[in-house]
A and B are shown apart, each in its own frame.
Chain A
Protein backbone atom coordinates (compact mmCIF):
# COMPACT_ATOMS: atom_id res chain seq x y z
CA UNK A 1 0.00 0.00 0.00
CA UNK A 2 1.47 3.34 -0.99
CA UNK A 3 0.10 6.38 0.79
CA UNK A 4 0.79 10.03 0.22
CA UNK A 5 3.05 11.44 2.88
CA UNK A 6 1.64 14.05 5.20
CA UNK A 7 2.84 17.61 4.59
CA UNK A 8 5.84 17.96 6.93
CA UNK A 9 4.92 21.58 7.72
CA UNK A 10 1.94 20.35 9.70
CA UNK A 11 3.83 17.60 11.47
CA UNK A 12 5.95 19.60 13.89
CA UNK A 13 5.49 17.97 17.30
CA UNK A 14 2.85 15.51 16.08
CA UNK A 15 5.05 12.37 15.97
CA UNK A 16 6.22 13.03 19.56
CA UNK A 17 2.63 13.41 20.73
CA UNK A 18 1.44 10.23 19.03
CA UNK A 19 4.41 8.17 20.16
CA UNK A 20 4.06 9.25 23.79
CA UNK A 21 0.35 8.46 23.64
CA UNK A 22 0.91 5.01 22.14
CA UNK A 23 3.56 4.05 24.65
CA UNK A 24 1.57 5.15 27.68
CA UNK A 25 0.23 1.70 28.42
CA UNK A 26 2.59 -0.74 26.74
CA UNK A 27 6.11 -0.92 25.39
CA UNK A 28 6.50 -1.23 21.62
CA UNK A 29 9.24 -1.43 19.01
CA UNK A 30 9.57 0.88 16.01
CA UNK A 31 7.67 -1.18 13.46
CA UNK A 32 4.78 -1.72 15.90
CA UNK A 33 4.63 2.01 16.65
CA UNK A 34 4.44 2.94 12.97
CA UNK A 35 1.75 0.33 12.26
CA UNK A 36 -0.25 1.55 15.26
CA UNK A 37 -0.03 5.17 14.05
CA UNK A 38 -1.22 4.12 10.57
CA UNK A 39 -4.04 2.09 12.02
CA UNK A 40 -5.24 4.61 14.62
CA UNK A 41 -5.07 7.62 12.29
CA UNK A 42 -6.59 5.74 9.32
CA UNK A 43 -3.33 6.56 7.47
CA UNK A 44 -4.25 10.25 7.51
CA UNK A 45 -0.89 10.77 9.17
CA UNK A 46 1.76 9.12 7.11
CA UNK A 47 5.47 9.75 6.92
CA UNK A 48 8.43 7.68 5.74
CA UNK A 49 8.41 4.91 8.32
CA UNK A 50 12.12 5.16 9.02
CA UNK A 51 11.94 8.73 10.24
CA UNK A 52 10.23 7.56 13.41
CA UNK A 53 13.59 6.43 14.79
CA UNK A 54 15.26 9.84 15.12
CA UNK A 55 12.13 10.94 17.01
CA UNK A 56 12.35 7.91 19.31
CA UNK A 57 16.07 8.42 19.89
CA UNK A 58 15.60 12.11 20.61
CA UNK A 59 12.81 11.40 23.10
CA UNK A 60 15.01 8.83 24.77
CA UNK A 61 17.91 11.28 25.04
CA UNK A 62 15.58 13.82 26.58
CA UNK A 63 14.49 11.26 29.16
CA UNK A 64 10.91 10.95 27.92
CA UNK A 65 11.41 7.34 26.81
CA UNK A 66 13.54 4.43 27.89
CA UNK A 67 14.55 1.50 25.74
CA UNK A 68 15.61 -2.07 26.22
CA UNK A 69 16.64 -4.85 23.91
CA UNK A 70 14.35 -7.86 24.00
CA UNK A 71 14.37 -11.07 21.99
CA UNK A 72 10.95 -12.20 20.79
CA UNK A 73 10.51 -15.20 18.45
CA UNK A 74 14.24 -15.24 17.81
CA UNK A 75 14.33 -11.58 16.75
CA UNK A 76 16.20 -9.08 18.88
CA UNK A 77 14.36 -5.76 18.98
CA UNK A 78 14.60 -2.48 20.82
CA UNK A 79 11.44 -1.83 22.81
CA UNK A 80 10.51 1.64 23.96
CA UNK A 81 8.49 2.61 27.03
CA UNK A 82 7.46 5.98 28.38
CA UNK A 83 9.05 7.38 31.56
CA UNK A 84 7.42 9.62 34.21
CA UNK A 85 9.12 12.60 32.52
CA UNK A 86 7.57 11.42 29.26
CA UNK A 87 4.12 11.37 30.86
CA UNK A 88 4.56 14.99 31.93
CA UNK A 89 5.74 15.87 28.47
CA UNK A 90 2.70 14.16 26.97
CA UNK A 91 0.37 16.06 29.29
CA UNK A 92 1.94 19.38 28.21
CA UNK A 93 1.92 18.54 24.51
CA UNK A 94 -1.61 17.21 24.74
CA UNK A 95 -2.91 20.38 26.41
CA UNK A 96 -1.17 22.56 23.81
CA UNK A 97 -2.61 20.58 20.92
CA UNK A 98 -6.10 20.47 22.40
CA UNK A 99 -6.12 24.26 22.78
CA UNK A 100 -4.68 24.76 19.32
CA UNK A 101 -7.17 22.39 17.73
CA UNK A 102 -10.08 24.08 19.53
CA UNK A 103 -8.98 27.52 18.36
CA UNK A 104 -8.49 26.42 14.77
CA UNK A 105 -11.83 24.62 14.82
CA UNK A 106 -13.44 27.79 16.09
CA UNK A 107 -11.80 29.81 13.33
CA UNK A 108 -13.00 27.37 10.70
CA UNK A 109 -16.55 27.06 11.98
CA UNK A 110 -17.17 30.68 12.93
CA UNK A 111 -17.68 32.21 16.38
CA UNK A 112 -17.08 35.66 17.76
CA UNK A 113 -15.01 36.66 14.71
CA UNK A 114 -17.93 36.16 12.37
CA UNK A 115 -18.65 33.69 9.63
CA UNK A 116 -16.75 30.46 9.25
CA UNK A 117 -14.15 30.48 6.52
CA UNK A 118 -15.69 28.52 3.66
Chain B
Protein backbone atom coordinates (compact mmCIF):
# COMPACT_ATOMS: atom_id res chain seq x y z
CA UNK B 1 0.00 0.00 0.00
CA UNK B 2 1.28 3.48 -0.90
CA UNK B 3 2.54 5.52 2.07
CA UNK B 4 -0.22 8.19 2.02
CA UNK B 5 -2.85 5.46 2.06
CA UNK B 6 -1.07 3.59 4.83
CA UNK B 7 -1.16 6.71 6.98
CA UNK B 8 -4.77 7.36 6.04
CA UNK B 9 -5.72 3.80 6.95
CA UNK B 10 -4.12 4.06 10.40
CA UNK B 11 -5.79 7.40 10.98
CA UNK B 12 -9.25 6.17 9.99
CA UNK B 13 -8.99 3.01 12.05
CA UNK B 14 -7.80 4.93 15.11
CA UNK B 15 -10.70 7.34 14.66
CA UNK B 16 -13.10 4.39 14.85
CA UNK B 17 -14.07 3.88 11.19
CA UNK B 18 -14.96 0.21 10.69
CA UNK B 19 -12.20 -1.79 8.93
CA UNK B 20 -14.48 -2.91 6.07
CA UNK B 21 -15.35 0.73 5.24
CA UNK B 22 -11.69 1.72 5.45
CA UNK B 23 -10.70 -1.13 3.11
CA UNK B 24 -13.28 -0.20 0.52
CA UNK B 25 -12.49 3.52 0.73
CA UNK B 26 -8.77 2.92 0.22
CA UNK B 27 -9.39 0.51 -2.65
CA UNK B 28 -11.47 3.08 -4.49
CA UNK B 29 -8.99 5.86 -3.70
CA UNK B 30 -6.17 3.74 -5.11
CA UNK B 31 -8.18 3.09 -8.30
CA UNK B 32 -8.98 6.78 -8.58
CA UNK B 33 -5.33 7.71 -8.10
CA UNK B 34 -4.32 5.32 -10.89
CA UNK B 35 -6.83 7.01 -13.22
CA UNK B 36 -5.60 10.47 -12.26
CA UNK B 37 -1.95 9.55 -12.83
CA UNK B 38 -2.82 8.12 -16.24
CA UNK B 39 -4.72 11.33 -17.10
CA UNK B 40 -1.82 13.54 -16.00
CA UNK B 41 0.67 11.43 -17.97
CA UNK B 42 -1.53 11.72 -21.05
CA UNK B 43 -1.36 15.48 -20.54
CA UNK B 44 2.43 15.26 -20.95
CA UNK B 45 3.69 15.28 -17.36
CA UNK B 46 6.58 13.15 -16.19
CA UNK B 47 5.73 10.22 -13.95
CA UNK B 48 6.88 12.00 -10.78
CA UNK B 49 4.97 15.18 -11.64
CA UNK B 50 1.91 13.18 -12.63
CA UNK B 51 1.93 11.37 -9.29
CA UNK B 52 2.35 14.57 -7.32
CA UNK B 53 -0.43 16.31 -9.24
CA UNK B 54 -2.72 13.28 -8.95
CA UNK B 55 -2.23 13.15 -5.17
CA UNK B 56 -3.01 16.87 -4.93
CA UNK B 57 -6.19 16.40 -6.96
CA UNK B 58 -7.26 13.45 -4.88
CA UNK B 59 -7.31 15.67 -1.77
CA UNK B 60 -5.23 16.32 1.31
CA UNK B 61 -4.87 13.74 4.01
CA UNK B 62 -6.93 15.85 6.44
CA UNK B 63 -9.80 16.26 3.97
CA UNK B 64 -9.84 12.60 3.00
CA UNK B 65 -9.82 11.50 6.62
CA UNK B 66 -12.35 14.09 7.77
CA UNK B 67 -14.82 13.20 5.01
CA UNK B 68 -14.99 9.65 6.33
CA UNK B 69 -14.62 10.27 10.07
CA UNK B 70 -17.39 12.84 10.32
CA UNK B 71 -19.98 10.35 9.01
CA UNK B 72 -21.10 8.44 12.05
CA UNK B 73 -22.65 5.62 10.03
CA UNK B 74 -19.14 4.38 9.17
CA UNK B 75 -18.11 4.07 12.80
CA UNK B 76 -17.41 0.59 14.08
CA UNK B 77 -19.60 -0.89 16.82
CA UNK B 78 -16.40 -1.40 18.83
CA UNK B 79 -16.17 2.38 19.07
CA UNK B 80 -19.87 3.23 19.18
CA UNK B 81 -20.70 0.72 21.90
CA UNK B 82 -17.53 -0.87 23.30
CA UNK B 83 -19.43 -2.13 26.33
CA UNK B 84 -21.54 -4.26 23.97
CA UNK B 85 -18.71 -5.30 21.67
CA UNK B 86 -16.29 -6.28 24.45
CA UNK B 87 -18.67 -6.85 27.37
CA UNK B 88 -21.83 -8.51 26.16
CA UNK B 89 -20.96 -10.01 22.77
CA UNK B 90 -18.05 -12.21 23.97
CA UNK B 91 -20.17 -13.50 26.85
CA UNK B 92 -22.95 -14.48 24.45
CA UNK B 93 -20.45 -16.10 22.08
CA UNK B 94 -18.96 -18.08 24.97
CA UNK B 95 -22.41 -19.16 26.13
CA UNK B 96 -23.08 -20.32 22.56
CA UNK B 97 -19.80 -22.26 22.57
CA UNK B 98 -20.76 -23.90 25.86
CA UNK B 99 -24.20 -24.85 24.52
CA UNK B 100 -22.42 -26.66 21.67
CA UNK B 101 -20.08 -28.31 24.21
CA UNK B 102 -23.07 -29.50 26.28
CA UNK B 103 -24.81 -30.88 23.20
CA UNK B 104 -21.61 -32.66 22.18
CA UNK B 105 -21.32 -34.14 25.67
CA UNK B 106 -24.98 -35.19 25.68
CA UNK B 107 -24.57 -36.94 22.28
CA UNK B 108 -21.50 -38.80 23.57
CA UNK B 109 -23.40 -39.78 26.67
CA UNK B 110 -26.27 -41.19 24.61
CA UNK B 111 -24.02 -43.00 22.15
CA UNK B 112 -21.15 -44.34 24.29
CA UNK B 113 -22.56 -44.43 27.85
CA UNK B 114 -26.26 -45.17 27.49
CA UNK B 115 -26.57 -46.76 30.94
CA UNK B 116 -24.33 -44.41 32.93
CA UNK B 117 -25.68 -41.89 35.45
CA UNK B 118 -23.32 -39.17 34.22
CA UNK B 119 -21.13 -38.73 31.13
CA UNK B 120 -18.08 -37.86 33.26
CA UNK B 121 -16.89 -41.42 33.81
CA UNK B 122 -16.55 -43.47 36.96
CA UNK B 123 -15.42 -41.97 40.30
CA UNK B 124 -11.91 -43.28 39.58
CA UNK B 125 -11.75 -41.18 36.46
CA UNK B 126 -12.06 -43.98 33.95
CA UNK B 127 -14.61 -43.57 31.21
CA UNK B 128 -16.26 -46.84 32.11
CA UNK B 129 -13.56 -48.87 30.49
CA UNK B 130 -14.13 -47.37 27.04
CA UNK B 131 -11.13 -46.91 24.84
CA UNK B 132 -10.52 -46.03 21.26
CA UNK B 133 -13.06 -43.82 19.57
CA UNK B 134 -15.09 -43.07 22.71
CA UNK B 135 -12.02 -41.80 24.56
CA UNK B 136 -10.97 -39.69 21.59
CA UNK B 137 -14.52 -38.34 21.34
CA UNK B 138 -14.64 -37.23 24.99
CA UNK B 139 -11.07 -35.84 24.93
CA UNK B 140 -11.94 -33.72 21.89
CA UNK B 141 -14.97 -32.43 23.79
CA UNK B 142 -12.81 -31.63 26.80
CA UNK B 143 -10.26 -29.82 24.66
CA UNK B 144 -13.03 -27.79 23.01
CA UNK B 145 -14.59 -26.96 26.40
CA UNK B 146 -11.35 -25.69 27.91
CA UNK B 147 -10.15 -23.88 24.80
CA UNK B 148 -13.47 -22.10 24.11
CA UNK B 149 -12.74 -19.07 26.37
CA UNK B 150 -9.24 -18.80 24.92
CA UNK B 151 -10.59 -18.84 21.36
CA UNK B 152 -13.14 -16.18 22.26
CA UNK B 153 -10.28 -14.18 23.82
CA UNK B 154 -8.31 -14.44 20.59
CA UNK B 155 -11.38 -13.13 18.80
CA UNK B 156 -11.45 -10.13 21.14
CA UNK B 157 -7.77 -9.52 20.47
CA UNK B 158 -8.26 -9.77 16.71
CA UNK B 159 -11.14 -7.29 16.72
CA UNK B 160 -9.18 -4.89 18.94
CA UNK B 161 -6.08 -5.14 16.77
CA UNK B 162 -7.99 -4.58 13.52
CA UNK B 163 -9.58 -1.47 14.99
CA UNK B 164 -6.31 -0.22 16.57
CA UNK B 165 -8.12 0.11 19.89
CA UNK B 166 -6.55 1.05 23.18
CA UNK B 167 -6.12 -1.81 25.62
CA UNK B 168 -8.79 -0.93 28.18
CA UNK B 169 -11.88 -2.47 26.57
CA UNK B 170 -10.21 -5.61 25.16
CA UNK B 171 -8.69 -6.33 28.56
CA UNK B 172 -12.06 -5.80 30.24
CA UNK B 173 -13.56 -8.30 27.79
CA UNK B 174 -10.77 -10.79 28.45
CA UNK B 175 -11.29 -10.42 32.19
CA UNK B 176 -15.01 -11.18 31.85
CA UNK B 177 -14.34 -14.17 29.62
CA UNK B 178 -11.74 -15.48 32.06
CA UNK B 179 -14.15 -15.12 35.00
CA UNK B 180 -16.90 -16.89 33.10
CA UNK B 181 -14.62 -19.67 31.85
CA UNK B 182 -12.97 -20.24 35.23
CA UNK B 183 -16.24 -20.43 37.16
CA UNK B 184 -18.19 -22.48 34.61
CA UNK B 185 -19.51 -25.74 35.98
CA UNK B 186 -21.32 -28.53 34.14
CA UNK B 187 -23.92 -30.64 35.92
CA UNK B 188 -25.33 -33.84 34.42
CA UNK B 189 -27.99 -36.15 35.72
CA UNK B 190 -29.98 -38.93 34.11
CA UNK B 191 -32.74 -38.81 36.71
CA UNK B 192 -33.40 -35.06 36.54
CA UNK B 193 -35.88 -35.49 33.69
CA UNK B 194 -38.35 -38.24 32.93
CA UNK B 195 -37.57 -40.95 30.41
CA UNK B 196 -33.87 -41.18 31.23
CA UNK B 197 -32.94 -38.80 28.42
CA UNK B 198 -30.22 -37.22 30.50
CA UNK B 199 -30.09 -33.60 31.64
CA UNK B 200 -27.08 -31.32 31.33
CA UNK B 201 -26.95 -27.83 32.81
CA UNK B 202 -24.29 -25.20 33.46
CA UNK B 203 -23.80 -22.37 35.88
CA UNK B 204 -21.36 -19.50 35.84
CA UNK B 205 -19.82 -16.93 38.17
CA UNK B 206 -20.26 -19.14 41.22
CA UNK B 207 -17.23 -19.49 43.44
CA UNK B 208 -16.65 -22.47 45.67
CA UNK B 209 -16.95 -22.11 49.45
CA UNK B 210 -13.58 -23.67 50.08
CA UNK B 211 -10.28 -21.88 49.65
CA UNK B 212 -8.93 -24.61 47.39
CA UNK B 213 -11.85 -24.26 44.96
CA UNK B 214 -11.39 -20.51 44.96
CA UNK B 215 -7.69 -20.74 44.17
CA UNK B 216 -8.30 -23.35 41.48
CA UNK B 217 -10.77 -20.97 39.80
CA UNK B 218 -8.35 -18.09 40.21
CA UNK B 219 -5.52 -20.04 38.62
CA UNK B 220 -7.81 -21.13 35.81
CA UNK B 221 -8.84 -17.48 35.22
CA UNK B 222 -5.21 -16.33 35.15
CA UNK B 223 -4.34 -19.12 32.70
CA UNK B 224 -7.23 -18.11 30.41
CA UNK B 225 -6.22 -14.43 30.48
CA UNK B 226 -2.59 -15.28 29.74
CA UNK B 227 -3.28 -17.64 26.84
CA UNK B 228 -6.06 -15.48 25.42
CA UNK B 229 -4.17 -12.20 25.68
CA UNK B 230 -0.84 -13.51 24.39
CA UNK B 231 -1.38 -12.96 20.62
CA UNK B 232 -2.87 -9.49 21.22
CA UNK B 233 -0.05 -8.44 23.55
CA UNK B 234 2.49 -9.81 21.09
CA UNK B 235 0.86 -7.79 18.29
CA UNK B 236 0.96 -4.62 20.42
CA UNK B 237 4.61 -5.16 21.27
CA UNK B 238 5.44 -5.73 17.61
CA UNK B 239 3.52 -2.58 16.64
CA UNK B 240 5.29 -0.51 19.29
CA UNK B 241 8.66 -1.90 18.23
CA UNK B 242 8.00 -1.26 14.52
CA UNK B 243 7.00 2.34 15.32
CA UNK B 244 10.07 2.99 17.42
CA UNK B 245 12.65 1.72 14.89
Which chain B residues numbered 52 to 106 have a C-beta less than 8 Å away from chain A? 53, 56-60, 63-64, 67-68, 71, 73-74
Residues on B with C-beta less than 8 A from A47 are 59, 63
Residues on A with C-beta less than 8 A from B71 are 54, 58
* Surface stretch bound by A, among B24-32, B143-151, B157-165, B167-175: B24-32
Cβ of A77 to closest chain B Cβ, rounded Å: 6
Cβ of B95 to closest chain A Cβ, rounded Å: 31
Q: Does B35 contact A (CB under 8 A)?
A: yes
Cβ of A38 to closest chain B Cβ, rounded Å: 10
Cβ of B27 to closest chain A Cβ, rounded Å: 8
Contact of A50 among B21, B24, B53, B67 (CB under 8 A): B67
Tell me the interface secondary structure of chain A in the complex.
helix
Q: State whether B58 touches A57 (Cβ < 8 A).
A: no
Q: State whether B59 touches A30 (Cβ < 8 A).
A: no
Q: State whether A57 touches B32 (Cβ < 8 A).
A: no
Cβ of B54 to closest chain A Cβ, rounded Å: 9
Q: State whether B59 touches A50 (Cβ < 8 A).
A: yes
With A and B bound together, what is the CA distance between A8 and B214 in angstroms?
Answer: 62
Q: State whether B73 touches A58 (Cβ < 8 A).
A: yes
With A and B bound together, what is the CA distance between A45 and B57 in angstroms?
Answer: 13
Closest 10 CB pairs of A and B: A48-B59, A51-B67, A31-B35, A50-B59, A54-B67, A50-B58, A48-B63, A50-B64, A54-B68, A53-B28
Q: Does A25 contact B (CB under 8 A)?
A: no
Cβ of B189 to closest chain A Cβ, rounded Å: 51
Tell me the interface secondary structure of chain B in the complex.
helix
With A and B bound together, what is the CA distance between A29 and B32 in angstroms?
Answer: 9
| B residues contacting the other copy or chain, number (CB 8 A) | 22
Q: Does A75 contact B (CB under 8 A)?
A: yes
Most chain B Cβ neighbours within 10 Å, of A47, A54, A58, A78: A54
With A and B bound together, what is the CA distance between A47 and B63 in angstroms?
Answer: 9
Residues on A with C-beta less than 8 A from B200 are none
* B1-36 vs A, Cβ < 8 Å mask (1 yes, 0 no): 000000000000000000001001100110110011
With A and B bound together, what is the CA distance between A83 and B4 in angstroms?
Answer: 34
Complex A-B: 20 CB contacts under 8 Å = A2-B53, A30-B32, A34-B32, A47-B59, A48-B57, A48-B59, A49-B32, A50-B29, A50-B32, A50-B59, A50-B64, A50-B67, A51-B59, A53-B25, A54-B68, A54-B74, A55-B67, A61-B73, A75-B31, A77-B31
Q: State whether B28 touches A48 (Cβ < 8 A).
A: no
With A and B bound together, what is the CA distance between A49 and B35 in angstroms?
Answer: 12
Residues on A with C-beta less than 8 A from B53 are 2
Residues on B with C-beta less than 8 A from A77 are 31
Residues on A with C-beta less than 8 A from B58 are 48-50
With A and B bound together, what is the CA distance between A67 and B145 in angstroms?
Answer: 43
Contact of A30 among B21, B31, B67, B73 (CB under 8 A): B31
Q: State whether B59 touches A53 (Cβ < 8 A).
A: no
Cβ of B11 to closest chain A Cβ, rounded Å: 13
Nearest residue in A to B27 (C-beta to C-beta)? A78
